[in-house]
């Protein structure tokens, strides 16, 4: 049987996606989203917008472009964006963004860099489309420096990849730097250093 692409996996789970991680959303993610997104201004590009969970946290003055390569997930986001005049959503691969250089004030990723097949390639694209003054805002889970957590992450990685195309062992902070970004803030949010908020400049 041929391997399923990340987009096919997300198309399949799109109708139930928000149920799958509801406990994490309620206990952690929603307050992190609010804190990370409330003060953004100008033009924002959200990568892997998914079912559109972040959309309500942007100020109505912000022009948000959201992209995702799963039609199923985008359909869910479109339902939420229907009444929001400041949101534009498109089907697009993060690894080859169809935007000019220096287009956005912010690029946002939330729980996405663990699923994109080549995260460094996508991060280089994000850097290209950011203005020189622009900033990357990332809420992501990544490989822990703690040996016990690392062991657990290695154990669950194949299962989560099979189900959701999600990797628990990615060195996401290192990937962000490898793409040329300079990390300005790195804050551990939960499960020691697994969930982190990262702000990085071009």
Ligand X SMILES: C[S@@+](CC[C@H](N)C(=O)[O-])C[C@H]1O[C@@H](n2cnc3c(N)ncnc32)[C@H](O)[C@@H]1O
**Alpha-carbon span 11 to 6, nearest angstrom:** 9
User: Please, which residue, 115 or 144, has the CB nearer to ligand X?
Assistant: 115
Beta bridge partners of 104: 130
Going from the C-alpha of 78 to that of each of 81, 105, 113, 192, the distances in angstroms are 5, 23, 22, 34
Torsion of CA 185, 188, 189, 191, to 10 degrees: 160
User: Please, which residue, 49 or 107, has the CB nearer to ligand X?
Assistant: 49
User: Please, which residue, 66 or 134, has the CB nearer to ligand X?
Assistant: 66
Going from the C-alpha of 154 to that of each of 122, 143, 158, the distances in angstroms are 23, 9, 8
**Alpha-carbon span 107 to 47, nearest angstrom:** 7
Where along the sequence are the contacts to ligand X (CB under 6 A)? 6-7, 10, 48-50, 53-54, 67-70, 73, 93-95, 110-112, 115-116
Tell me how far, at minimum, the Cβ of 122 lies from ligand X, in Å. Answer: 6
User: Please, which residue, 27 or 133, has the CB nearer to ligand X?
Assistant: 27
Tell me how far, at minimum, the Cβ of 184 lies from ligand X, in Å. Answer: 21
Tell me how far, at minimum, the Cβ of 21 lies from ligand X, in Å. Answer: 8
């Amino acid at each position: 049987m041929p391997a399923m692409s990340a987009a096919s996996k997300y198309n399949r789970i799109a109708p139930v996606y928000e149920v799958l991680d509801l406990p994490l959303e309620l206990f952690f993610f929603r307050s992190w989203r609010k804190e990370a997104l409330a003060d953004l201004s100008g033009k924002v590009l959200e990568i892997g917008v998914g079912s559109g969970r972040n959309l309500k946290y942007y100020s109505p003055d912000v022009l948000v472009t959201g992209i995702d390569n799963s039609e199923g997930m985008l359909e869910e986001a479109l339902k939420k964006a229907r009444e929001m005049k400041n949101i534009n959503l498109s089907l697009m691969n993060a690894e080859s963004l169809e935007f000019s250089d220096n287009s956005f004030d912010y690029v946002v990723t939330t729980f996405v860099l663990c699923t994109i097949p080549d995260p460094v390639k996508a991060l280089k694209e994000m850097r290209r489309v950011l203005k020189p003054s622009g900033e990357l805002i990332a809420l992501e889970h990544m490989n822990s420096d703690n040996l016990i957590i690392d062991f657990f992450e290695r154990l669950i990685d194949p299962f989560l990849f099979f189900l959701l195309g999600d990797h628990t062992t990615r060195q996401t902070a290192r990937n962000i730097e490898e793409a040329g970004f300079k990390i300005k803030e790195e804050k551990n949010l939960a499960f020691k250093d697994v969930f982190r908020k990262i702000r990085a400049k071009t």
